[in-house]
Amino acid sequence: MESDANALEWLEGHFHEDALPEKVAIIIDEATDIDLAEGLVATVRETTAKCQEGSRKLARDDALLVIAGTGLDLIEHKDWVGTNPHLSKLTVLKRPNVNNVSKVVPREATFALENGTFARIFRTNARMLFRSLIPVLQSPFHSIDGYSEEEESEREIKRRRYETRLQAVASTRCIMDHAPRFYVNQNSVGKLTSTVRQELLCQAFVYHLSEPMKKLEKSDKSYRREIQQNNFQELEQLTGSPVFNALQENTVSGIFSKGLANRTETSNAWKYLACFGLTEPVRAQFGDDFEKLTALHLMRYMEVFGFECHPRKLKNAWLPKWNDTDSILDTSQFIEEDFELIEGCSNNCLVFEQGTPNAQGADVLALLVRPEGASLMAIQCKHYVKSPGPKKIREEWWPSLGVEFTEKTVNLEPSSGSAGYAFQGLDAFRRLLEKKLRSSVKLGDRMLAASFPTPEKSTNFPIPQSHGIRVRFREMFEPTMSVLTLKTSRR
Amino acid sequence: MFTVKFVTPLGPVSFEGESHDSWNSIISEITTWFKEGDIGDMMVGKLIITSGDDSKTFSSPFNTRDAAVFLNLIRGDLQGLKDYLGSPAKLLPLRKLNGDAYLKANVRIVDVEPSQSAAKDFFAQHAVIQGDKTYTVLVAGESGSGKSVYACQQALDCGYVPVYHCLAEDAKTKKQAEEASDNSEKAGSPSRQKNMELQGLMDQKPVPEHELLNDFLRLFIVVMESTQQIEYKSKHMGNKGLGRCHQSDCGVRRECARMARRTLS
C-alpha cells in the first residue's frame, strides 16, 4: 500500500484521473442493520457502475463493495430476504484454527491454548485470542527459570516446565478472565451500557438453553409420555419468561446482530459470556463437579426470571448419613450454619451447595424469596453417562429428595424409611430458614438433575406425576454444560 | 514553519507561522477571515497545508465552512496533524487494529466458510468479471471474529485500496442527535436542547483527541467520495421502498459537524 504512489496520491485527496488507484474496495463495517445491508446488496450493480464512471470515478479498473457485520449471514437465509443470490458472495468467519496459530506462536503457547481449561474456550474467538490470550501467554515472565541450560537434557527439562507452567496459566480462571473482560470493552459490545449488555447476555443464555429443548420436541426420536410431559413443562416455564419474550421480539436487532449468538454455531467464548462465567469443568466420575455446575446453572437460570442470586456453601453435609437402625435426625450441627440471608423480600435467590456429593439429601438447595412468599427448592445431582435403570431411580434417587415412589403410589411427605428420613431433613432445613428469615417458607420443587441426555422410549426413567416434581436432563443445562468439555465415564 | 494556503475564486490566500502558538493563531486568523471577510460559503478549490518539508494538498472541492470545521479540529492536535502529514497511511483502519498483528500477518489463521481459497476468489475474481455481473462481498461472523481486519487485509492482498467506513459511529451520533432533538421539541427550548446534547456528550467515554482527528480526517478526505455513494444508494433504496435506512441523511457535512461538535465541546 505504502509503495503504491498512485494510491497515496489518491488517499491524500488528489482525485485526479491519473492518480486513481487501479482497484478500490469500499468497506462498510458494522453494517448490522439488515435492511441497510440488503439495500446495498440489491443496488450494488448500479452503485459500482456509478463508481466507475464520470466525475465520481473512484478507480481505474474495479470498485468492489465489501460489507462486514454480524448477522449478515441472514441475508442468504431464505426466510429473511429475497435478495438475488447472484448479487452477493458470503464469507462467514468461523474460529481461529489452532494449527495455523502454531505457525506464529511458540509451541509451548500452542500447547497451553490446546490444553488450558479456559484458554480452550477463549481461543474460539479471534479477538480474545489475538488481543488477550496470546499476549498473556507470551509474557516473558512466564519463562523465567533459575535452572541452567548448558546441557541439552536440562534445556528440555526447562522447556517442559515452561510448557506445564503455561498450561497452568491457561487453566487459571482469574488470569484467563482477562480475555472476556478485555473483550466486552471493545467494538459494538463495548458501546453498550452494562445494563443493556447484561440483558442481551441473558437473552443469549435463554436462546442457547431453549434451542436444545425445542429440538427435543421436534426430534424424530420417541420418548415416554412422562418424559415428554416433564420436558414440555420445562420448556413452557422458560418460554414464559420475560427474557424469552424480549428475545422473540428482538430477533433482528438483538443478540444476533450484536454477534452475541449465532443461529448456526456459537463459539464457546460467547457461550461463556452468556453464562456470565458461571460454569465449571465437569470431569468424569466427579460428582461434586456436576453439583457445582448445577448450582451455577441454577443461579444463571433464576436470573432469567428476575432473581438476584447469591451462592452459599453449607459447612456440614445436610442431612447427616442415614443409618438403617437409627433414623432419628440429629439437627445439632445446624448451630454451626451461620450463612447470611439477604435483606429485603423481593426476588432473592440463595443457592446452597453441599461440599459432599454423597450427602443423604439434596445436593443443591435454593431459597427463593418472592414478595408473595418464600419457598425451598431441592435438587439431587446425578452425574452418570446414562440412566441406571428404573429400580435405582425409584429406590435411591427419588427417596433422597424425600419422595417415596413405588409403581402404584407417590408420597411427597413420607415418614419412614430413607425417603422419610430425607424428608425430615429437608423439612428441618426449611424450618431453619423460616427461623432465620422470620417468615414462612414453603417446600417448593424437588428436582433430579441428570448429566446424561434425555432417555429415549426404550429406557424406563420413572418420574412421579405430581406437582413440583421435575427432572432436568443434560439438554436443560445448556449452554453451561457445553462451554467446557464434559467427560463422563460409565459407572 | 506552517503554511495554510487557500486557492479560491478570488485568488490564492496564504497564512504563515513559525511555532505551535503561531499555528493556533493562524487558525484564529483564518476563522476571523471566514467570519468577517464577508465571503459566505465560498467554494475552495484547493487547501494546501505545509509543515516543514511535508506538504499536503486537499483538492476535492469544499466550502469555507467545511474548511473552518476542519482547521478547528487540527488546532487542538498538532502532533496528530504532523503524524497525518508524515504518513497518511496511518489513517487506514488496519493501523487502528494494532493488536491483531497475527491476523493481519496471515488471514488464513481463521477458518472461513465456504473455504479460504473460495473466499479469496470473491475478492480476486471481482476485477475480471463483467460489470453487469458485479456483486457485494459480505463478511459475516460473530462479534470479535475478525471481520474488519479480514475484509481490509483480504482487499489489500488482492490489490485493492481499502476505503473504510464504520457505520457504528454514524448510528451513535445520529441517535444522540435524535434524542437531543426530541427532548428539545418536548421542552421547546434551545438551551434545553444544548443541555441535553452536553449531557449526552458527558455520558460518553472520553475519546483521545488524536483518534478523533484521525477519524475526522479519514472521513473528510478519504471516505467523502464513498459516503456520497452511500447517500446515493440510500436514496435509491428509499425510492424502491426496500425498508428503513438510518443512513438516509448521512452526508459528509453533517458528519463533519457532528465530529466537530464532539471535539470542540
> For A125-136, how does the pLDDT look when each residue is reduced to its tens digit (9 = 90+)?
888 888 888 889
Contact (Cβ atoms closer than 8 angstroms) between residue B252 and residue B228: yes
pLDDT of residue A414: 87
Q: Which residues in chain A are contacts of B230 at CB distance < 8 A? A: 28, 40
Q: Which residues in chain B are contacts of A207 at CB distance < 8 A? A: none
Which of A87, A108, A132 corresponds to the end of one domain? Answer: A87
State how far the alpha carbon of A300 is from the alpha carbons of A216, A231, A311, A383, A417, in Å: 22, 19, 11, 20, 35
Q: How far apart are CA A476 and CA A453, in angstroms?
A: 9
Looking at the partner chain, which of B91, B108, B166 has a beta carbon nearest the beta carbon of A30?
B166
Q: Which of A187, A210, A235, A177 is nearest to A69 (CA)?
A: A187
Q: How far apart are CA A67 and CA A63, in angstroms?
A: 13
Contact (Cβ atoms closer than 8 angstroms) between residue A204 and residue A255: yes
User: What phi, psi does A88 have (nearest 5°)?
Assistant: -145, 150
Strand arrangement of the beta sheet that strand B136-141 belongs to: B110-113, A88-96, B136-141, A62-68, A23-29, B161-166
Percent of chain B with pLDDT over 90: 3
Q: How far apart are CA A208 and CA A239, in angstroms?
A: 12
Checking if the pLDDT of A447 tops 90, the result is yes
Q: Which residues in chain A are contacts of B165 at CB distance < 8 A? A: 26-29
Q: Which residues in chain A are contacts of B148 at CB distance < 8 A? A: 27, 29, 68
Q: Whole-angstrom distance between the N-terminal and C-terminal Cα of chain A? A: 62
Q: For cell 473455504, what's the residue?
A: B115
Query: Which residues have a Cβ under 8 Å from the Cβ of A340 and sit 6 or more positions away?
Result: A312
Please indicate, yes or no, if residue A38 is contained in any of the structural domains. Answer: yes
Interface probe with A: pick from B81, B83, B115, B138, most Cβ of A within 10 Å: B138
What are the DSSP E strand ranges found in A2-157? 23-29, 62-68, 88-96
Does residue A48 share a domain with residue A110? no
Q: Based on the number of CB atoms within 10 Å of its own CB, is A332 exposed (0-12), middle (13-18) or buried (19 or more)?
A: exposed
Q: Which of A460, A350, A464 is nearest to A402 (CA)?
A: A464
pLDDT of residue A112: 93
Does residue A330 share a domain with residue A456? yes
The residue of chain B nearest to residue A33, with distances taken between CA atoms, is B245
Under DSSP, the state recorded for B88 is G
Contact (Cβ atoms closer than 8 angstroms) between residue A480 and residue A276: no
pLDDT of residue A299: 92
Q: Which residues in chain B are contacts of A40 at CB distance < 8 A? A: 136, 230, 233, 237
Cα A335 to its chain centre, rounded Å, is: 37
User: What phi, psi does A385 have (nearest 5°)?
Assistant: -85, -25
* B134 at A interface, C-beta within 8 A: yes
Q: Which residues in chain A are contacts of B101 at CB distance < 8 A? A: 130
Under DSSP, the state recorded for A300 is H
Q: How far apart are CA A238 and CA A261, in angstroms?
A: 18
Contact (Cβ atoms closer than 8 angstroms) between residue B142 and residue A124: no
Does residue A467 share a domain with residue A394? yes
Does residue A283 share a domain with residue A155? no
Is the ipTM beyond the 0.95 threshold?
no
Rounded to a whole number of angstroms, the distance from the CA of A175 to the nearest CA of chain B is: 19
User: What phi, psi does B105 have (nearest 5°)?
Assistant: -65, -30
Q: What is the pLDDT of residues B141-190, one digit of tens each?
A: 888 888 888 888 888 788 887 777 677 654 554 444 444 445 544 444 43
Which of A164, A183, A202 corresponds to the end of one domain? Answer: A183
| Contact yes or no for B145 and A95 at CB 8 A | yes
Q: How confident is the model at residue A337 (pLDDT cuts 50, 70, 90)?
A: low
Q: How far apart are CA B60 and CA A12, in angstroms?
A: 10
| Contact yes or no for A259 and B221 at CB 8 A | no
Q: Which of A278, A291, A285 is nearest to A400 (CA)?
A: A291
pLDDT of residue B139: 92
Q: Which residues in chain A are contacts of B172 at CB distance < 8 A? A: 191
Give the domain extent around A62: 5-87
Touching A: B residues 113-132, CB under 8 Å = 113-114, 119, 122-123, 126-127, 131-132
Bridge-based pairing of strands A23-29 and B161-166 is parallel
Best-predicted range by mean pLDDT among A260-269, A293-302, B38-47, B86-95?
A293-302
Percent of chain A with pLDDT over 90: 11
Please indicate, yes or no, if residue A191 is contained in any of the structural domains. Answer: no
Does residue A81 share a domain with residue A103? no
Cell numbers placing B8: 479560491
pLDDT of residue A181: 84
Please indicate, yes or no, if residue A218 is contained in any of the structural domains. Answer: no
pLDDT of residue A101: 84
Does residue A110 share a domain with residue A17? no
| Contact yes or no for A29 and B151 at CB 8 A | yes
pLDDT of residue A357: 59
Rounded to a whole number of angstroms, the distance from the CA of A406 to the nearest CA of chain B is: 50
The residue of chain A nearest to residue B155, with distances taken between CA atoms, is A25
| Contact yes or no for B110 and A38 at CB 8 A | no
Percent of chain B with pLDDT over 70: 37
Rounded to a whole number of angstroms, the distance from the CA of B28 to the nearest CA of chain A is: 24
| Helix residue ranges per DSSP H, A409-477 | 417-437
Contact (Cβ atoms closer than 8 angstroms) between residue B234 and residue B247: yes
Q: How far apart are CA B190 and CA A59, in angstroms?
A: 45
Does residue A80 share a domain with residue A127? no
- Angle made by CA atoms A269, A271, A274, in degrees to the nearest 5: 115
Rounded to a whole number of angstroms, the distance from the CA of B136 to the nearest CA of chain A is: 5
Looking at the partner chain, which of B151, B159, B236 has a beta carbon nearest the beta carbon of A66?
B151
DSSP secondary structure string, A129-183?
A: IIIIIHHHHT-GGGG---S---SHHHHHHHHHHHHHHHHHHHT-HHHHTHHHHHH
Higher confidence at residue B76 or residue A391? A391
Q: How far apart are CA A31 and CA A71, in angstroms?
A: 9
State how far the alpha carbon of A179 is from the alpha carbons of A183, A220, A235, in Å: 6, 40, 33
Q: Which residues in chain A are contacts of B103 at CB distance < 8 A? A: 126, 130
Please indicate, yes or no, if residue A449 is contained in any of the structural domains. Answer: yes
pLDDT of residue A345: 61
| Contact yes or no for B142 and A16 at CB 8 A | no
Name the residue ranges covered by the structural domains of chain B.
2-88, 93-157, 167-264
Looking at the partner chain, which of B103, B127, B167 has a beta carbon nearest the beta carbon of A29?
B167
| Contact yes or no for B148 and A270 at CB 8 A | no
Cα B40 to its chain centre, rounded Å, is: 24
Touching A: B residues 204-263, CB under 8 Å = 221-222, 225-226, 228-230, 232-234, 236-237, 240, 242-247
Does residue A32 share a domain with residue A107? no
Q: How confident is the model at residue A473 (pLDDT cuts 50, 70, 90)?
A: very high
Q: What is the pLDDT of residues B18-41, one digit of tens each?
A: 766 666 777 777 777 777 766 667
Does residue A473 share a domain with residue A392? yes
Q: Which residues in chain B are contacts of A1 at CB distance < 8 A? A: 89, 92, 156, 161
| Contact yes or no for A93 and B139 at CB 8 A | yes
Neighbour count for residue B211 (Cβ, 10 Å)? 12
Note the pTM of the prediction, 2 decimals: 0.68
Alpha-carbon torsion, ordered A423, A425, A431, A436, to 10 deg: -140
Bridge-based pairing of strands A88-96 and B110-113 is antiparallel
| Contact yes or no for A35 and B136 at CB 8 A | no
Q: How confident is the model at residue B75 (pLDDT cuts 50, 70, 90)?
A: low
Q: How far apart are CA A431 and CA A177, in angstroms?
A: 39
Does residue A151 share a domain with residue A34? no
Contact (Cβ atoms closer than 8 angstroms) between residue A38 and residue B247: no
| Helix residue ranges per DSSP H, chain B | 20-36, 64-75, 78-86, 93-96, 101-105, 116-124, 147-157, 167-187, 190-203, 209-217, 223-240, 252-264
As a whole number, mean pLDDT of residues B180-205 equals: 42
Q: How far apart are CA B34 and CA B30, in angstroms?
A: 6
